Structure 1
Amino acid sequence: MISLGSGLDRLASFASASHRRACLLLVLLSLAAFLPGFAGLQPFDRDEPRFAQASKQMLETRDFVDIRFQDEARHKKPVGIYWLQAASVAAGEALGVPQARTTMWLYRLPSLIGAIATVLLTYWALLAFVGARLALLGGALMAACVLLGVEARFAKTDALLAACAVATMGALARAWLDWTRSLAFVPSRWNWLVFWSATALGLLLKGPIVPMVWGLAMIVLAIRERSLRWFAPLRPGLGLLLCLIVVLPWFVAIAIKTGGNFFAESVGKDMLAKVGEGQEKHWGPPGLYLLLFFGTYWPSAALAAMAIPFAWVKRREPQILFLLAWIVPSWIVFEAVPTKLPHYVLPLYPAITALLLLALVNGGINRFRRGADLTAFLIVAVPAALVGVLLYGTWTLDRTLPWLALPVLALALVVAFRSFLAYREGAFEGALWRGVVASLLLGAGVYGLAAPSLRGLKLSPRLAEAVQAVSCPNPEVMTVGYREPSLVFLVGTNLRMGADGSAAAAFLREPGCRVALVESRFLDGFRQGLAASGATPRLLTTIAGFNLNGGKRLEMSVYVRE
């Protein structure tokens, strides 16, 4: 009988024998990591449905220049992700997907593709630093990374942005290491095209983030080398021209359409506001990303932390210097900015993976260092804590447990413990591969089996189902007390937002088929308004659930006047 360790070792040897096999295995691992729950998870407030709704409105209005959420201009990010999501939904409609415009997984397809691309591009980038077998492991570790798994399932920019960042840094690494004679092969003559194409796409996705990452790294390396001649093979003149050709048409169009307001909003009120203060209640102190790192980069974080002494000792070597230039300046910027979200540092995780693998191959991980075993036990402690929170949440919200998920979650913890034991035996590569398997099992259990049972979190889908159950076609709908973007996305762009119960009562007095969704705090004012008008709408149903954004339980009454 083949043990788990020997089976994984044989698989790694077989797949790393050719780039085609390695890429095929990484695609399969990515699909196994990212597909559970991909189609079944409800729209996750608030950012995801905002992106999806704006993309849906592009299809509704056929305006592919301006970006809007209902009647409000959404001038925060460039247009790239909205175009990709709209194209994905249009393809779904052409292929006959029912109710394609409110089918969230269609909007998530660009993120899924971006996450898979991040895994494959990590493998490609790591080939500049390590051999094929370890580069394969690095790609697998990115597929197993908790944060990338989350972003693969969200219809936002960040999985694609990570792919763009790692593409530019893989190309930049080849130019730098070739200059310092640390590269074992000659970079492709198309290396410059990878670099600037990824930069252009990154600009259309999220403005200056990708250029910031490679720009800060380039400055550090230029200071170290006292020269920028090593950058010349990337053809900056031709590359900048390519970027202008790609991005300038939309930037000119949006400037003309909005009279320059897009740039005032996106740069002045979004980007600079994040630098000045914690925006949208996302403030965090410096050091928060380091604290979150052990959860967001699981299962690799513990061993990566042990590679820090190795990186410090070898910091002047060209490979390590490049990786530190990739990580440290951008990390400092993200820590200094008051607005903090976990996904901001995702573009830096492939570089941390490379440092971990270089420490692995050069004997740079010392398991006898004080505190090493305690750090390594996070391989078990992090998923155990996640499972505990999940079980507590399902029981608290819905008085049930995810019975189908329990065996899979238990097996994930067993494999995570086996990973810890392999580390104790000094089999670091085997420990990391076992961590990949544990992550696949954990994702299947959490996203694929447990999340669907969290009915209490699905307020918007259940309210949308209630609206669809109304006998009259195309009703007008107003919501009071619950204003989440997911409800707009699922119910319709014309969903009205009422200020109080009397507004809902007045809304139901108007002619036509109408539905009012009234939160329990506003029921008294709603009933008083009905009594004054003499209207008698029908109570269709009452839906209770938990709003994660507000952090409180809600009870919504659905009234209909047919």
Structure 2
Amino acid sequence: MRLFQEKEWLFSLLVISLILWLIFLGNSPLRDWDEGTYALVAREIYRTGNWLYPTLQGEPFLLKPPLMQWLIACCYYLGGVQELTTRLPGAVLTALGVPLLYLVGRLAFKQSLPALFAALVYLTMLPVVRHGRLAMLDGMTISFFLLLLFCLLKARQNRKYALGVGFCLGLIILTKGMIVFLLGAIACLFLLADRQFALLKSPYLWVGILLGNTPAIAWYTAQWQRYGNTFLEVHFQAQAFDRLMQPVEGNSGPVWYYLLELLKYGFPWLLFLPGGLYLAWKKRHESWGSLVLLGTIIYLGTISFMRTKLPWYVMPVYPFLALAIGANLSEVWQNRHFRVRSWTIFLAIISLAGLGGCVYFFIKKQPVLIVMSIVLAISMSIAAWLIKQRDRNFIPVLFIGMYLVIGLLVSSQSWIWELKEAFPVKPVADLIRANVSPGTTVYTSFPYNRPSLDFYSDRKVVSASIAVLKELSNNKSYLLLDNTTLQQITLSKYKVLGTADKFTLISPSNK
């Protein structure tokens, strides 16, 4: 009976997570930088068949391993080049992290309830869903790491599962490269803390590591043989070690940068995190307690002291936080230990924020987000009232409410809010594609390059200063100029090819 219930829970978690990650997946344009870049690389693989040595605009792409781009290219073969197929591999693999976290929790807690709560918390964490739906590496890296932890815990009962540890390490390397050292260190320290010393002598573990890492080693060897020290400098130095020691491309922040990220997007679940971490400390000699503490402290501590700061670097800490929160919610459900005052106040504040959002989105005429705000206000109000009544049913209300809120958000075209930071690329890309022949470079006055514009225009669009643009205007080059720059540059002979979203595409008249 218990096995049947476990299969039911696993299937249910899989279905509801796939729904949340896949609905309206292609309803918004690709985002800069990662999405546009990976889509460009995958499209070149799809067109050229060059799977071993990926390229970006014809130049070697040495920044990241190719697993994500390979998967996207496969989707292009099956469903064509579009937003949905670009995001599909990462979204599916990230969604699988929900049932995987349940399996990890089931083995670590040795109970179903805290494992279920942890999986549902992870399912309804906004950053996990949002970044996991994008064509980015973090969500699928987390899922491979959760599969690794499952194999590690399952190997206590059956040593053959240790084979999977090595294959998961290989998948992590082929996805995001050097992060394997950090995640591998966490797994190794957990193995020691969990007193699985005998596993270190198991041939299954070492055979798995050998076989699982062979594809990654082969790929790295092929790149080094072809590109030599250039590959080592770009892939290891610039993409890994430099980010530890100095801010890359100005992406810096204070030590508490990621704590602020957690505070911005972690509610309402952060209300239950202090209690969860306290329980983890009390249970630090148990599997789940040591896993939560090691993962949170080592990973969060490492990225906090890195000089380069980017919001999605914090993603792999969310499964550990979800386990802690799930443990606390399970304790509340079973023993009814409520913090009535603080929880009620915070949920009431979130409810008021939902009402404020309702007014704001009404002014902006965004009906889906109006409904989202209403659902948020109602669900948080009901949960606050239930907490005041010391009714444990506030927990399912929170899960259902947050699931509906995030589902409504991703159903709108506002779930990638970074798209509003710059001009919409599609109209400008259509203008370029209609007037510029393939293989021709376009120079723009926009202050930085946008991979998404390159992807949609299918042309290389390079940012240049006004001085450079003046020189290029005499060299028969295509120019994409904003209105202000167009007035500042004196062009003797040119032809206006069209305008789109305050940009004008021009070429010399003899073009």
Indicate the TM-score class for this superposition, using the shorter chain for normalisation.
0.7 to 0.9
Tell me which residue corresponds to 1:83.
Answer: 70
CA distance in 2, matches of 1:66, 1:449: 37
Residues 444-475 of structure 1 show CA distances to partners (whole Å, capped at 9, x for unaligned) of: 333322529989655211212333555x8759
| CA RMSD across the alignment | 3.3
Q: Which residue of 1 aligns with 2:6?
A: 19
Where does the alignment leave 5 or more consecutive residues of structure 1 unmatched?
Answer: 1-13, 94-99, 179-186, 544-554
Structure 2 counterparts to residues 32-181 of structure 1, below 5 A:
32-93=19-80, 100=81, 103-128=82-107, 129-175=109-155, 178=156
Shift of 1:378: 6.6
Post-superposition offset of 1:18: 2.4
**Which piece of structure 1 moves more, 370-379 or 302-311?**
370-379
CA distance, structure 1, for counterparts of residue 380 and residue 310 of structure 2? 27
2:405 is matched with 442
Deviation at 1:486, TM superposition (A): 0.8
In the TM superposition, 1:541-560 aligns within 5 A as 541-543=499-501, 555-559=502-506
**Residue matched to 1:331:** 300
Aligned length: 500
Identify the residue that residue 7 of structure 1 maps to in structure 2: none
The question of whether the paired residues in 2 share the 8 Å contact of 1:77 and 1:206 is answered with yes
**Pair 1:257–1:279, CA change in 2 (3 A):** same
| Residue of 264, 274, 278 corresponding to 1:309 | 278
The alpha carbon displacement at 1:304 in A equals: 2.1
Which residue matches 1:182?
none
Instruction: Give CA deviations for 1:472-495 in whole Å, capped at 9, x if unaligned.
Output: 875946241223111111111444
Distance, in Å, in 1 between the alignment partners of 2:305 and 2:463 is 37
TM-aligned CA deviation for residue 17 of structure 1:
5.3
Deviation digits for residues 275-316 of structure 1, max 9, x if unmatched? Answer: 002222221211222222134444422212332222233323
Match of 2:230 in 1: 261
Cα distance change of structure 1 residues 294 and 333 upon mapping to structure 2, 3 Å threshold: same
Shift of 1:190: 3.9
CA 1:309–1:245: 2 relative to 1, 3 Å? closer
1:367 is the counterpart of 2:332:
no
SS in 2 for 1:478: strand
Q: Tell whether the 8 Å contact from 2:242 to 2:248 is kept in structure 1 after alignment.
A: yes
TM-score by length of 1: 0.79
**Structure 1 partner of 2:470:** 502
Indicate conservation of the 8 Å contact 2:22/2:92, yes or no: no
1:538 aligns with 2:485: no
Give structure 2 stretches of 5+ with no counterpart.
none
What aligned pairs does 1:377-396 form with structure 2 within 5 A after superposition?
Answer: 380=351, 387=357, 391=360
- Return the offset for 1:38: 1.4
Please report how far the alpha carbon of residue 250 of structure 1 lies from its aligned counterpart in structure 2 after TM superposition.
0.9
How much has 1:192 moved relative to structure 2? 1.4
Residue type of the partner of 1:147? P
User: Equivalences for 1:146-295 in 2 at 5 Å?
Assistant: 146-175=126-155, 178=156, 187-219=157-189, 222=192, 228-233=197-202, 235-295=204-264
1:292/1:374 CA distance change after superposition, 3 Å: farther
Identity of aligned residues (%): 17
Cα 1:410–1:362 change in 2 (3 A) is closer
Deviations 1:238-273 (A, max 9, x none): 122113322122111111111132222121122111
The aligned amino acid for 1:487 is L
Measured at CA, do residues 439 and 369 of structure 1 come closer, stay the same or move farther in structure 2, by a change above 3 Å?
closer
The answer (yes or no) to whether the contact 2:45–2:54 under 8 Å persists in 1 is yes
Cα pair distance change 1:263/1:475, threshold 3 Å: closer
Report the TM-score when normalising by structure 2: 0.86
Q: Answer yes or no: is 1:460 the counterpart of 2:447.
A: no
CA, structure 1 residues 16+150, in 2 after alignment: closer, same or farther (shift >3 Å)?
Answer: farther
CA contact (8 A) 1:85 1:107 kept: yes
